[in-house]
Structure 1
Amino acid sequence: MRTPWEGEAKVLDGKAVAAQIKDEIRERVATLRSQGVVPGLGTILVGEDPGSMTYVAGKHRDCAEVGIESIRIDLPETASEEEILAAVKQLNEDDACTGYIVQLPLPKGIDTNKILEAIDPAKDADGLHPTNLGRLVLRVSEPINSPLPCTPRAVIELITRNGIDLAGKDIVVVGRGTTVGRSIGLLLTRKDVNATVTLCHTGTQDLADKVSRADVVVAATGAAGIITADMVKPGAVVLDVGVSRVEVDGKSRLAGDVADGVDEVADYLSPNPGGVGPMTRALLLANVVESAEREAAKLES
């Protein structure tokens, strides 16, 4: 989807809302520091993949902006599974670390699931540990006192902070990846959101028909331009979460899942980049701070 667009769709500005969330986080961090609790974000980076290095560096810049401490563990590309697990154990046992991520992808030959499942669920900054997803499955109406999946939470926050009520809405999620598709329904169908969710994927028959019935479309496939204007119901809310690369004039460029022209049909549309991405980064910080707040509450009790 080109930006800026020419249609009348209102922008779901992730950068602006993320800045608001960071302001709120900065205040919460200051409160924690006044209580003697300092939130800390840890990262484990294996190898020197340029994209991963940029992503991790961005996380630590975000921390500096809001007063969260940074704990960085960088391992060589040749690191063994045992060495990576040792780094995970180190952060699990480090009281200065209130949340952390293992940057993916890991090198070939490493059991990624084994590494991720070794993370202390209380310090799971991405909110995708099986224990934390299991809590979402089991707790439909009770408060959730564990980290939440960042990108699904980002989608919901971006919508609701723009004054859009999701209760009773029909939502179509396109893409069944763990990061978004498989986990977002757990949040959207909680009683405090109360939406109805249809999950579409490569086995879905007549995708266009299902998308055309949706009040809200969350596109998270990584297939460039898969959501076209003729598929979208007039007045719908469309969030472009997927990222892929396409060749334009001989150059590789990032592309989202939403095609040009959707801006002329949708009522609200998130840009990509600049929509859900900045929100995801902000809500990862929120997970780190909320873990620190839970620890602070334990100390007081």
Structure 2
Amino acid sequence: MPGTESAREIMACAAERTVRFEQQTGEKPCLATVLVGDDPASATYVRMKRNRCAKLGIESRHVPLPASTTTEALVAAITELADDPAVHGILLQHPVPGHIDERAAFDAIPVGKDVDGVGSSSFAAMAFGRDGFASCTPAGIMRLLDAYGVDPSGKHAVVIGRSPILGKPMAMLLLARDATVTVCHSKTGDLPSIVRTADIVVAAVGKPEFVRGEWLKPGAVVVDAGYNEGNVGDVAFDEAGTRAQLLTPVPGGVGPMTIALLMEQTVEAAFRQAGLP
């Protein structure tokens, strides 16, 4: 279940809307990326997102901050971007150094510019079906399921992981589509038995090849949202491939969809802020 083709279609549409926005306003949609510290993986992710912006005609503004940045200084930098009408979307690259209150920083991003869907208000809007932006990876997974004709309604979905930017919003989006959702985590007892009951499995635990093939119900749809060193996901791919009906690869599965949704939501934010349909 690769995500590259679906992501390409989403980004082609975003590129067309970017042209329309510039024609109507004389400006380009703008995504501001904030990176605290010099973690190589985080720097790579930010560079990928900025390169994708450039290909789609979206302006990008990068704000690098030293690892010694305090929570207060980070919130101040985000607030400055929030107050700038030329900036339509703000992305704070996760994770930040441990001494920073990441939740306070995420929540400093106003809902209308939270194109990565990481703030508490964005989560609430998504959970209650209100107007806001969903967390990009879970939203990308839902679009990928749609692309492959997987209807969650009436299905049992097991989400492994409860992070506030992946596991929890993933559960809410599946619930909104009438799935029966079980959220599992590090303290869940007899996890393999629970996974064996799942029609849809979303692995977002951050441990390489954690989900084994023998855990899966034959014919299950398996979404690997993990990415670990060495291009390895959270699912033992070869084992799972013998039992799953559909299985996302790592890389090339969920990752392209995450970036595509970020681009789409940035362009949508620009239209909303300009008061354009």
Question: TM-score, normalised on structure 1?
Answer: 0.86
1:160 aligns with 2:146: yes
Using the aligned pairs only, state the percent identity.
Answer: 40
Stretch deviating more after TM superposition (254-263 or 215-224): 254-263
Asked if structure 2 preserves the Cα contact closer than 8 Å seen for 1:173 and 1:220, the reply is yes
Q: Deviations 1:251-283 (Å, cap 9, x if unpaired)?
A: xx2421111311011111100111101110111
Measure the CA separation in 1 of the matches of 2:239 and 2:100.
42
C-alpha deviation, 1:299, in angstroms:
5.9
Tell me how far apart the structure 2 counterparts of residues 220 and 299 of structure 1 sit (CA, whole Å).
Answer: 36
**Would the aligned equivalents of 2:127 and 2:169 in 1 still touch at CA under 8 Å?**
no
Q: Secondary structure at the residue paired with 2:18?
A: helix
Within a 5 Å distance, the mapping from 1:253-272 to structure 2 comes to 253-259=230-236, 260-272=238-250
Aligned equivalents of 2:207, 2:276: Cα separation in 1? 47
* Counterpart in the other structure of 1:239: 223
**1:38-85 C-alpha deviation (Å, 9 max, x unpaired):** 311001112222111111111111101111111111122333333322
Q: Which moved more, 1:27-36 or 1:152-161?
A: 27-36
Alignment of 1:84-123 (within 5 A): 84-123=74-113
Distance 1:61 1:29 in 2: 15
Contact 2:139–2:261 at 8 Å: present in 1 too? yes
What SS does the aligned partner of 1:244 have?
coil
- The match for 1:35 is 24
Secondary structure of the equivalent of 1:173? Answer: strand
Q: 1:214 aligns to what? A: 198
Residues in 2 aligned to 1:299 and 1:257: alpha-carbon distance in whole angstroms: 41
1:288 equivalent in structure 2: 266
TM-score by length of 2: 0.93
Deviations 1:21-51 (A, max 9, x none): 1111111112222221531100111222211
- CA contact under 8 A between 1:219 and 1:258: conserved in structure 2? yes
Query: How big is each residue's C-alpha offset from its partner over 1:159-179, in whole Å with a ceiling of 9 and x where there is no partner?
Result: 111222222221111111122
**RMSD value over aligned CA atoms?**
1.6
* Contact 2:126–2:133 (CA under 8 A) maintained in structure 1: no
Separation (CA, whole Å) in 1 of partners of 2:70 and 2:193: 48
Q: Which residue of 2 aligns with 1:249?
A: none
Deviates more, 1:91-100 or 1:34-43: 34-43
Structure 2: state its 5+ residue gaps.
none
| Aligned-pair CA distance for 1:126 | 1.3
Contact 1:146 1:291 in 2 (8 A): no
Residues 25 and 299 (structure 1 numbering): CA distance in 2 closer, same or farther, change over 3 Å? closer
1:227 to 211, 222, 232: 211
Query: Per the alignment, in what secondary structure is the counterpart of residue 125 of structure 1?
Result: coil
Structure 1: state its 5+ residue gaps. 1-11, 246-252
Aligned to 2:119: 129
Tell me if the contact between 1:150 and 1:284 (Cα under 8 Å) persists in the aligned partners: yes
- Residue 44 of structure 2 corresponds to 54
Q: Distance in 1 between matches of 2:66 and 2:122?
A: 29
Residue 161 of structure 2 is aligned to residue 175 of structure 1: yes
* Number of residues of Structure 1 aligned to a counterpart in Structure 2: 275
Match of 1:277 among 255, 273, 277: 255
Residue-by-residue CA offset, 1:213-259 (whole Å, 9 max, x unaligned): 111110111122221121111111111112234xxxxxxx2421111
What is the rounded CA distance, in whole Å, between the counterparts of 1:254 and 1:13 in structure 2? 15
CA contact (8 A) 2:74 2:105 kept: yes
